[in-house]
Structure 1
Amino acid sequence: MSAGDGPAPHPLSQSQSPSNDLDALAELADASRRMRGEIARVIIGQQEVVEQLLVGLFARGHVLLVGVPGLAKTLLVGTVAKILHLSFRRIQFTPDLMPSDITGTDILQDDPESGRRRFVFIKGPLFANVVLADEVNRTPPKTQAALLEAMQERHVSAGGQTFGLPDPFFVLATQNPIEQEGTYPLPEAQLDRFLLDVRVPYPTPEDELEILRRTTGEPSPEPEAFLEAEQLLALQRLVRRVPVPDHVFRYARDLVRATRPDQPEATAFVRKSVSWGAGPRAGQALILGAKARAVLSGRIAAGPDDVRAVARPVLRHRIVTTFHAEAEGIDADGVIDQLLKDVPEPLDRAASRLAGPA
């Protein structure tokens, strides 16, 4: 069932009491605060990037990190894996990397019982809870496709057998926005597999000064692991149970439909600036991201502000701008900013009925 199917349940879960759900919400909010604190022991600044990474993690989605070299993208991913006490693998994507190099391969071995030789599947580095796909745009499309298929299906097929990937399974891919020569940009259809496209900016002057002080002295303290895989899975299930008012569903739908230049909801600005808009998966990502952001803040329901907060990382890799927009310096973020101004928030009908006539 998609995120937008049917009305949201009004307690968080029909199988648990509201008090248990509130306790679980408090646990998730506390876990979020502790994670931010542990990450801050290693990563200086980048609070918005950390928040979006946690949103992707608890919404059970994969994240694409885009930033120039040296901004601690790899360190951030490794730190999150350590905090969560999860298995972590880094795959450096290169032009000669083959699909079997990441998924695994069959090798011929002697069977000690039968004395015959048989093929045995040796799992590749993709079989980990947290996988860092470093510079994913530097490997050929067939290897990219193998990674993205595993991300979507959460299993690997080899030799007529299917091997399930660990649960939880979380892929963070990085891309370098410069040095595009000799790279293989991910097609829009494959970018759509990522829940969020997170841009990692340069540090602020104050943060950069603290980076110089902290990284040129004694080694930074190691983050403390405090969240096990089963606890993370329970918190991810909790995010799915968070209620969403109907007007928030409609707001997410309207935002997504307004990105499509051939739809009646599109403004003249979108028709001029966008060649391809976002698909239905974008609406699902908006709702899931809004749910995760709400509970990470300790709130029991998602609202329009949560949708607006995740709109950029959800939509920027799902919008293709026209040549006219590029010539005027308008990128996907500029389109999203304009949409957030132009698309009105639908009326909360339930609140209107409670308020009565003005």
Structure 2
Amino acid sequence: MASNAVTLNDLRLAANALEAAVGQVVVGQARAIRLVTISIFARGHVLLVGDVGVGKTTLLRAFGRALGGAYERMEGTVDMMPGDLLYHTFIHEDGRPRVELSALLAKADDLSIFFFNEINRARPQVHALLLRLMAERSVTAFNRTFQFPFLQVYADRNRVEKEETFELPAAARDRFLMEIPVEAPTDLEARRHLIFDPRFHDVDRLLDGIAAPVLDHRGLEAAAARVQQAIHTSAAVQDYVARLWDAIVHPAAAGVALSGIDMDRLVQGGASPRGVAFLVRAARVRAWLEGRDMLVPEDVRDVFVETMAHRLFLDPVYELRRESIVRDLCAAVLATVSAP
């Protein structure tokens, strides 16, 4: 047991070093960095949401550099088909057509971060293949099965432009551990650095500041399992999580109220058992990063919005305002349900 405690403590120090390394090149994003770190040790896939140019790609490239392993990015487009994830065709110098593995399949054995940019520009058929890859960490192509033992998928959702987009259905959103907002920094000093410091104008040179991997991505699955086993949960906290679940699914019955909203019809679905299990997984990692072996209500509250908001399915009357409504709903649930 003592050996396990030392190992987990050393791993926590490595996680802190991971955050510090990324924080040197991605300024003003401490919250996003912490949430991505939680997702890494909870081994869950992530939706990223934020405006153009706020640093989502830089953030993921920095984590990829600090973790080691392969990094791959793909752009969602309206004309993309599932095969584009698996192969690419070209005319060889001999004038004959060739078919080769996509970069995704070519890097399967060592791929640690796959960034699907603007996932809602891709068609539902592409989403279906991506969801299989996320769920099973494998795909079948060229008469063989490709395994992705270290894969985490990060998908960016364009929230501004709605033309030629295909929004993810609730069942697909539920596959993601978190939806992490990445916003422009509000700190004045961070803004000055990003605007005036030439170091932040060359991303490739900036990433060279992370000289070597801080963590070995090949050991994260085993490390994540040990973290989950090491964090204990009292009966009182288990009851608290269950009451939060009831309140988010049936807010009117729990006494949750939002101005101008019919609470009886607001939530049509979502907050599945898988989603609540994801909430607990993320909360356990948060407790471990804070140096505790016991889950406390603050751990659950800290990751509640990012793990629950995106998986709620609202009445169509409210869907156009879902971004503000679901966050207000989560805040109201946390304020209404008493913590032990």
Sort the TM-score into its range (normalised by shorter chain). 0.7 to 0.9
Does the C-alpha gap of structure 1 residues 66 and 215 become closer, same or farther in structure 2, counting only changes over 3 Å? farther
Q: Which residue of the other structure, out of 249, 254, 265, is the alignment partner of 2:243?
A: 254
Q: How does 1:1-12 map to 2 (within 5 A)?
A: none
In the alignment, structure 1 residue 222 sits paired with structure 2 residue 204 = no
Which residue is 2:3 aligned to?
20
Which residue is 1:285 aligned to?
278
Does the C-alpha gap of structure 1 residues 342 and 25 become closer, same or farther in structure 2, counting only changes over 3 Å? same
Offset of 1:223 from its aligned partner?
1.0
Does the C-alpha gap of structure 1 residues 276 and 215 become closer, same or farther in structure 2, counting only changes over 3 Å? farther
- Provide the C-alpha distance between the structure 1 equivalents of 2:310 and 2:282, rounded to a whole number of angstroms: 15
SS of match in other structure, 1:331: helix
Which residue is 1:51 aligned to?
34
- Provide the C-alpha distance between the structure 2 equivalents of 1:328 and 1:173, rounded to a whole number of angstroms: 19
Would you tell me which structure has more helix in proportion to its own residues? 2
| Structure 1, gaps ≥5 residues long | 1-16, 107-119, 348-358
Q: Conserved in 2, the CA contact under 8 Å of 1:101 and 1:124?
A: no
- Provide the C-alpha distance between the structure 1 equivalents of 2:150 and 2:301, rounded to a whole number of angstroms: 27
Does the C-alpha gap of structure 1 residues 96 and 325 become closer, same or farther in structure 2, counting only changes over 3 Å? closer
In the alignment, structure 1 residue 157 sits paired with structure 2 residue 151 = no
Offset of 1:330 from its aligned partner?
5.0
Q: Conserved in 2, the CA contact under 8 Å of 1:286 and 1:307?
A: yes
Which residue is 1:125 aligned to?
104
How many residues end up aligned between the 2 structures?
A: 317
Offset of 1:138 from its aligned partner?
0.7
Does the C-alpha gap of structure 1 residues 279 and 329 become closer, same or farther in structure 2, counting only changes over 3 Å? closer
| Structure 2, gaps ≥5 residues long | 90-98
> TM-score, normalised to structure 2's length?
0.85
- Provide the C-alpha distance between the structure 1 equivalents of 2:236 and 2:150, rounded to a whole number of angstroms: 31
RMSD, aligned CA: 2.8
Q: How does 1:52-71 map to 2 (within 5 A)?
A: 52-71=35-54
- Provide the C-alpha distance between the structure 2 equivalents of 1:248 and 1:104, rounded to a whole number of angstroms: 48
- Given residue 47 of structure 2, which amino acid in structure 1 is its aligned partner? L
SS of match in other structure, 1:89: strand
Does the C-alpha gap of structure 1 residues 329 and 286 become closer, same or farther in structure 2, counting only changes over 3 Å? closer
- Given residue 223 of structure 1, which amino acid in structure 2 is its aligned partner? I
SS of match in other structure, 2:145: strand
Q: Deviations over 1:80-139 (max 9, x none)?
A: 011011111111111122212213489xxxxxxxxxxxxx98365152221001111111
Offset of 1:302 from its aligned partner?
1.8
- Farther-moved stretch of structure 1 (62-71 vs 156-165): 156-165
Q: How does 1:128-207 map to 2 (within 5 A)?
A: 128-158=111-141, 161-165=144-148, 167-204=149-186, 205-207=188-190
Offset of 1:338 from its aligned partner?
0.1
Q: How does 1:267-278 map to 2 (within 5 A)?
A: 267=256, 270-271=263-264, 273-278=266-271
